[in-house]
Amino acid sequence: MRVHKKSILFIVLDSCRYDTFNHAQLPNLRSVGPLFKASAPSYFTYASHAAMFVGFTPGVAAVERSFLNPKFAKIFKLGQANFLGKEGAFQLQGRSIMQGLSRAGYAVFGTGGVRWFDPSTETGKLLSLDFDKFFYTGDTHSLTRQVRWIEQKLAECEGQPVFAFLNVGETHVPYYFEGAPWSVDDNPCVPFQKLDRAAECRARQTACLEYIDRELHDLLPAFCDSTIIVCADHGDCWGEDGIWEHGVAHEMTLSVPLMIRLSGRPIE
């Protein structure tokens, strides 16, 4: 399956550290384009997604390069935003990029794996409000169901440009994927813990990411001639400065992977 060339696939690997991505074996994800170490817009899921949904995607401040540095030029630019930089790759009107794309004729759908996207909560309603259709999994290890759901929506939108958003939960604590050889109830990254389980955190998040890469082997090629954004909303601390998990500003919670393929061309 190939989607309309104006389509967009936006993948957020929840909590994925840059160093995890950099050292993992990810042949499918790496086909998107070169990997960059970027700064996330925030250090926890809700704030980071709220920022990204109005066009403030992770960026590389040290380069004056379009789309890698949102201050230089943005991927998504809302027309009413108070931003003096260059025009965006997608110039939109609305309160969010989803609403703007919907007004521009896109089919806009998304799926989330972490609890911030739970539509039974007020925050979940806010994050999912502007999607035409949204699927919340109810847990952080249902990527197979999420990909299947997206593929079903793509089949329903043949000939129409789509904005497909995928928040992946497997890289979020407790770092578990379906069939993993450890218990979903064993979280190696507990705030304020005294036991150093950093090695387990690293091994498990890496294994989850490599699982994700395998699960995306069909979805990514469908968008190869259009636009793909792969990033994380934030990272995690694994004992650095005595900090575990996220929710606080720290180099490790703000450093994330970023890859962009714009209209079929990798951003380098």
Classify residue 83: in a domain, yes or no: no
For residue 150, is pLDDT > 70?
Answer: yes
CA distance 260 to 61: 15
> Are residues 187 and 173 in contact, defined by beta-carbon separation less than 8 angstroms?
yes
In angstroms, the first-to-last Cα distance of the chain is 26
Q: Is the dihedral of CA 121, 173, 53, 131 positive or negative?
A: negative
CATH number at residue 248: 3.40.720.10
Classify residue 94: in a domain, yes or no: no
> How high does pLDDT run on average in the chain?
95
What confidence tier does 145 reach under pLDDT thresholds 50, 70, 90?
very high
Q: How far is CA 2 from CA 7, 162, 166, 186, in A?
A: 10, 12, 18, 39
Classify residue 186: in a domain, yes or no: yes
Query: Number of structural domains, the chain?
Result: 1
Question: DSSP label at 182?
Answer: S
> Are residues 165 and 14 in contact, defined by beta-carbon separation less than 8 angstroms?
no
Classify residue 82: in a domain, yes or no: no
Classify residue 80: in a domain, yes or no: no
Classify residue 174: in a domain, yes or no: yes
Residue in the block written with tokens 């990272």:
235
Peptide bond before residue 174 is cis, with ω within 30 degrees of 0: yes
Domain that holds residue 34: 8-59+105-266
- pLDDT for res 214: 98
- pLDDT for res 87: 61
Classify residue 71: in a domain, yes or no: no
- pLDDT for res 249: 97
Q: How far is CA 16 from CA 2, 19, 202, 242, in A?
A: 28, 9, 10, 19
Tell me the pLDDT tens digit for each residue of 218-248. 999 999 999 999 999 999 999 999 999 999 9
CA distance 168 to 113: 6
Q: Which helix (H) or strand (E) holds 36?
A: strand 36-39
Residue 100 exposure: Cα atoms within 13 Å on the Cβ side: 20
- pLDDT for res 84: 47
